[in-house]
Amino acid sequence: MFKIVSREEMAQGTIILNEIEAPRIARKAKPGQFVILQVNEKGERIPLTMADVDPDKGTITIIYMVVGKSTALFGKMAVGEEYFAVIGPLGKATHIENRGKVVCVGGGTGIAVLHPITRALKDAGNHVTTILGSRNKDLLILEDKMANASDTLHICTDDGSKGHHGFVTDVLKDVLEKEDISLVVAIGPVPMMKFVSAITKEKGVETLVSLNPIMVDGTGMCGGCRVSVGGETKFACVDGPEFDGHKVDYDELSNRLRAYLNDEQKSVDESEKNA
Amino acid sequence: MAGKDKKVKVPRATMPEQAPEVRRRNFMEVPLGLTDEMAITEAARCLQCKKPACVEGCPVSVDIPGFIQKIADGDFSGAIERLWDKNALPAVCGRVCPQEIQCEGNCILGKKGSSVAIGYLERFAADKARELGSGTLPKVADKTGKKVAVIGSGPSGLTVAGDLVVKGHDVTIFEAFHQTGGVLVYGIPEFRLPKDIVASEVATLEKLGVKIELNSVVGTTVTIDELFEEGFDAAYVGVGAGLPRFMNLPGENLIGVFSANEYLTRANLMKAYLFPEYDTPIAKGKNVVVLGAGNVAMDAARTAMRLGADTVKIVYRRSREEMPARAEELHHAEQEGIEFVLLTNPIQFFGDDDGRLNGMECLKMELGEPDESGRRRPVPIEGSEYRIDCDLVVVSVGAKANPLLTNSTPDIDLNQWGNIVADPATGKTSKKAVWAGGDIATGMATVILAMGAGRDAANSIHDYLTIGW
Ligand SMILES: Cc1cc2nc3c(=O)[nH]c(=O)nc-3n(C[C@H](O)[C@H](O)[C@H](O)COP(=O)(O)OP(=O)(O)OC[C@H]3O[C@@H](n4cnc5c(N)ncnc54)[C@H](O)[C@@H]3O)c2cc1C
Ligand SMILES: Cc1cc2nc3c(=O)[nH]c(=O)nc-3n(C[C@H](O)[C@H](O)[C@H](O)COP(=O)(O)OP(=O)(O)OC[C@H]3O[C@@H](n4cnc5c(N)ncnc54)[C@H](O)[C@@H]3O)c2cc1C
Ligand code: SF4
Ligand code: SF4
Ligand code: FES
C-alpha cells in the first residue's frame, strides 16, 4: 500500500513530486482536498494537498517543498518505497462554478495546490488569468501546466530573472484595474495571501485562500489547526482549508505556524547527527 | 456467620506502585500489579454471595464471584475464561473502570469495611493469562458468509468485532488512525494503560480472523453506502466522541492553549514524549494549567508533570466532591504533586507579542443552589478576579460527537447534540443494517459502557444476519 510509483525533482531539488498508490483516496479526491502522510511508524503526520489524482490508475500526486525533517525524509524516498500511512481525502473540496472572469494567484509550492483548482475553474467555463510568483526563475514550478490551465499567464520573480520584476500583487492590481473580475483564488505563503486579500478587499472582489496551519489528525478531532475567520474559530482541516480571504486573521496564523520552531530545529539537528 | 466476620477483618490488598517522586517523571505504569500470593489472599476475602450485588454494579455482568473463586483456587486460566465470557478486554477494564461506583461500589464487604479489590483481581487474571499464554481462545463458529464492517477500533468496535467473528461472520474494522484502540491508545496514557496490552488484545482478534483496514476515514475515504455496495451486509458505527470542546474565551488561540485531545494524541499516539526519537513535538510547559476535573484532565495534568513541568494546576469550577475522575486518578495526581485549584473559573488568556500564552485570568466561585444535575451550582464571587502565570493550558472540559461520518450519512438520525440515536437495547439506528454504540451514541462515557453497547449490538447484528431486521 501507498507505494511511490513515480518521483520528480523540481526547482533545483528543493521541491519534490511523488505519485503514490492510494486507490480508495484516488477514487474520491476532488480539487482543494489534501492527505496526511506519515513516512514511518515514528514519523510526524504531515498534511499535503493533492496536486493531481488518477482514479483509473489509483494514484495521487503530491508536490512538496523540503522545509524540515519530515519533508526531508519524504524527499529521500525512492520509487518503489512505501509511505507508512496516507489518509484522505481530507478537507472540503473547492466549490467550482462558472463565475465568468477569475484570477488565480500562486506562490511557491502554493502553485501545486492551485493547479487542480485552476484546471477545474477553466473546465467549468471560467476565463482564467493566472499570476505566479517565485524568488527566481529556477524556483518556479509547473509553469507549463499552469499555462495550459489558464487563458492568460503572468510570471513574477523577486529578482527579475523572468517575467515581471516584482511581486504578484503588482500584476494583480493591474488586472483588477483593467478587467471585471468576480473571484480571486490566492494560494501561497501567508504574507502573499495576506497582501492579496488586502488588495481585493479594497476592490470588493471575493477571494478564496487556502490555509496551512499545523495539523495532527486532519479529521476535526484535535483542534490544533484552529484559525480565526471573521472572529470565529474554525478548524482548517474540516471547515477548510479554503476560507474567505477577507476574513482570515493572518497574523494569528503566522504566529501559530511558529509554535514548534525550537523543536523543529532540534529534530533536524538530531537527524543530521544520526545520518 | 463467623467466617464472614473474619473476612471483613482481613485487610484489602494494597497495590504495589512506583513511588510518587519517581513516577512523576517517567511514563512507566504506576501500579505494578499484585503478586500471586496477594491475589489469592485477596480473592479469599470474597464472600461468594448467593445474590452478588457486585455483579449488578457491573455494566456487562461479569461473573465476579466466579472468576474470583478461580483465583482463590489458584486456577488462573479458569479465572480468565470466566472473565472472557462477558468481557473481551479485562486487562483494560481492570485498570480503567471506575470500580468505586460500579462493581466495588456495590460489594457487600464495602458496607462494613473495604470492598473486594475486584479491579485489581481482574487485571491480575488478565495479565497472568497474557504472561503465560494461558486460557483457550473461544471457538470460531462455521463461516456464515456474511460480511460486517465495524467502523472505529475503540473498545466498542473491538467488542463487536470479537463477538461477531466468533459467531462465524467475516469482520473488517475500518479505523481512521494508523493504529487501533481508539481512546485506549490516543487518549489514556502509557503510565495508566500500557499500549502493548491494547496491541495484544487486538492481536487476539486478528488471530480469530478479524481484518483491519487502517487509515480509513469512513465518511470521506469511503462512505457506509459504498461499503454496502462493496458487499458488506451490516455496519457498526463506534467512532467515539472525537470533537474537542473549547470554552470560547478570549485568547484561546494563543500558542500554548491546547485541547486535551491534541495534547494527549501528541503524547500518546504520536509518542511525543519520546521526541526527538519520534518526530512529533509537544509543548513542554513550565507552569501548566489543566481546565476540567475528569479522567481526561487528570491524564493531561499527569502527562505535563512527566514532561518536566515545575507546577501543574487543575482549575475546576466546582468543589472536590464533584470532580468526576476515578478516585484512584485523583489520588495518584495529588500524590504526584498536582495542585487542585477548586471553585475557580477561567475568564481569559493572556499572551506576549509573539502570540504565546503567559497567563490567565480566573474568577473565584462559591456554591449556590442545586442545579438540574442535583449538584450545587457554582456562582462567581464578584471582584475576585486574579491572575495565574502559566505557559501551557490544556482544555479538558469534555468532547462532543464528531460530524465527519454522520454528515456523509444523512439517513442516520441524530439527537440535538449530534449523537447518533441508537436503540438502547439493540444499538439499531434509523438506517437499515446500521448499528451504533459507545461514545458516539451516549456522549463521552466509559470503556465498559462502550463495550456493553458493543456486546448488545453484536447480538442484534447476529440476529439480523441470521433472522432479519
Ligand atoms: C492543508 C495543508 C496542505 C498543505 N499542502 C502543502 C503542499 O501541497 N505542498 C507543500 O510543500 N506544503 C504543504 N503544506 C505545508 C506542509 O504541511 C509543511 O510544510 C510540512 O508539514 C513541514 O513539515 P517538516 O517536518 O518538513 O518541517 P518542520 O520543520 O516540521 O516545519 C516547517 C514548517 O512547517 C509547518 N508545519 C510543521 N508541522 C506541520 C504539520 N503537522 N502540519 C502543518 N504544518 C506544519 C510549520 O509552519 C513549520 O514552521 C500544507 C499544509 C496544510 C495544512
Ligand atoms: C483521556 C481519556 C481518559 C479516559 N479515561 C477513562 C477511564 O479511566 N475509564 C473509563 O472507563 N473511561 C475513560 N475514558 C472514556 C473512554 O475511553 C471512552 O468512553 C471509550 O473509549 C469510548 O469507546 P468508543 O469505542 O465508543 O470510542 P473511542 O475509544 O473514542 O474509539 C473510536 C475510534 O473510532 C475512530 N474513528 C473516529 N471517526 C472515524 C471514522 N470516521 N472512520 C473510522 N474510524 C473513526 C477513532 O479514531 C477511534 O479509534 C477516557 C477518555 C479519555 C479521552
Ligand atoms: S468490567 Fe469493570 S465494572 Fe465490571 S467487574 Fe470488571 S472492573 Fe468491575
Ligand atoms: S459482593 Fe463482594 S463479597 Fe459478594 S460476591 Fe461480590 S465481590 Fe464477593
Ligand atoms: S488537525 Fe486536528 S482538528 Fe484539524
Give pLDDT tens digits for B277-317: 999 999 999 999 999 999 999 999 999 999 999 999 999 99
Going by pLDDT thresholds of 50, 70 and 90, the confidence category of residue B139 is confident
Sign of dihedral through CA atoms B459, B464, B466, B467? Answer: positive
E strand or H helix at A35 = strand A34-38
pLDDT value, residue B134: 74
Decide if B275 and A255 are in contact by the 8 Å CB cutoff.
no
Going by pLDDT thresholds of 50, 70 and 90, the confidence category of residue A266 is confident
In this predicted structure, the answer to whether residue A117 has a pLDDT above a threshold of 50 is yes
pLDDT (tens digit, 9 = 90+) per residue, B352-402?
A: 999 999 999 999 999 888 888 788 889 999 999 999 999 999 999 999 999
Exposure letters A2-28 (e unless 16+ CB within 10 A, then b): bebeebeebbeebbbbbbbbbebbbeb
Distance (Å) from the alpha carbon of B279 to chain A's nearest alpha carbon: 5
Compute how many other C-beta atoms are within 10 angstroms of the C-beta atom of residue A129: 23
Ligand 3 atom 4, closest CA: B58
Q: Residue A116: what residue type?
A: P
Q: What are phi and psi of B385, to 5 degrees?
A: -60, 140
Supply A208's cell numbers.
478564496
CB B80 within 8 A of CB B125: yes
CB B404 within 8 A of CB B413: no
B97 lines ligand 3 (CB under 6 A): yes
CB B337 within 8 A of CB B309: no
Alpha-carbon gap, residue A227 to B261, rounded angstroms = 17
Alpha-carbon gap, residue B432 to B150, rounded angstroms = 15
**How many CA atoms are closer than 13 Å to the CA of A44, on its beta-carbon side?**
26
Place of cell 471560467: A126
Instruction: Using CB atoms, pick whichever of B177, B220, B275 lies closest to residue A89.
Output: B220
Q: Residue B54: what residue type?
A: C
The fraction of chain B above a pLDDT of 90, given in percent, is 86
pTM over 0.90: yes
In this predicted structure, the answer to whether residue A63 has a pLDDT above a threshold of 80 is yes
In this predicted structure, the answer to whether residue B2 has a pLDDT above a threshold of 50 is no
Contacts with B121 (C-beta within 8 Å, 6 or more apart), sequence order: B34, B39, B42, B43, B67, B68, B71, B94
pLDDT value, residue B370: 87
Decide if B276 and A24 are in contact by the 8 Å CB cutoff.
no
Contacts with A78 (C-beta within 8 Å, 6 or more apart), sequence order: A4, A7
Nearest Cα to Cα of residue B438 among B242, B264, B250, B248: B242
What's the whole-number mean pLDDT along residues B150-162? 96
What's the whole-number mean pLDDT along residues B175-196? 95
Q: Which ligand is nearest to the CA of B65?
A: 4
Contacts with B212 (C-beta within 8 Å, 6 or more apart), sequence order: B153, B172, B173, B175, B180, B202, B206
Supply B294's cell numbers.
475528569
Which atom of ligand 1 lies nearest, measured to the CA of A216? Answer: 41
Test site for ligand 1: of A17, A19, A36, A67, most ligand atoms within 8 A of the Cβ: A67
Which atom of ligand 4 lies nearest, measured to the CA of B45? Answer: 3
Distance (Å) from the alpha carbon of B127 to chain A's nearest alpha carbon: 26
Q: What are phi and psi of A128, to 5 degrees?
A: -110, 120
Supply A227's cell numbers.
484559525
Nearest Cα to Cα of residue B408 among B216, B166, B147: B216
Instruction: Using CB atoms, pick whichever of A42, A220, A267 lies closest to residue B243.
Output: A220
Strands (E), B147-197: 147-151, 170-174
Going by pLDDT thresholds of 50, 70 and 90, the confidence category of residue A70 is very high
Ligand 5 atom 2, closest CA: A222
Alpha-carbon gap, residue B124 to B80, rounded angstroms = 9
Place of cell 476565463: A127
Residues of A in contact with B243 (CB under 8 A): 220-221
Q: Which of A33, A46, A217, A274 to mutate to test the interface with B (most CBs of B within 10 A)?
A: A217
Contacts with B271 (C-beta within 8 Å, 6 or more apart), sequence order: A42, B278, B280
CB A223 within 8 A of CB B262: yes
pLDDT (tens digit, 9 = 90+) per residue, B50-102?
A: 999 999 999 989 999 999 999 999 999 999 999 988 888 999 999 999 999 99
Q: Which of B213, B215, B224 to mutate to test the interface with A (most CBs of A within 10 A)?
A: B215
The region of weakest confidence among A148-152, A260-264, B20-24, B407-411 is A260-264
pLDDT (tens digit, 9 = 90+) per residue, A148-200?
A: 999 999 999 999 888 888 899 999 999 999 989 999 999 999 999 999 999 99
Asked if the peptide bond before residue B346 counts as cis, ω within 30 degrees of 0, the response is no
Instruction: Using CB atoms, pick whichever of A222, A255, A263 lies closest to residue B244.
Output: A222
E strand or H helix at A268 = helix A261-274
Decide if A217 and B176 are in contact by the 8 Å CB cutoff.
yes
- How much distance in Å is there from the Cα of A249 to the middle of ligand 1? 19
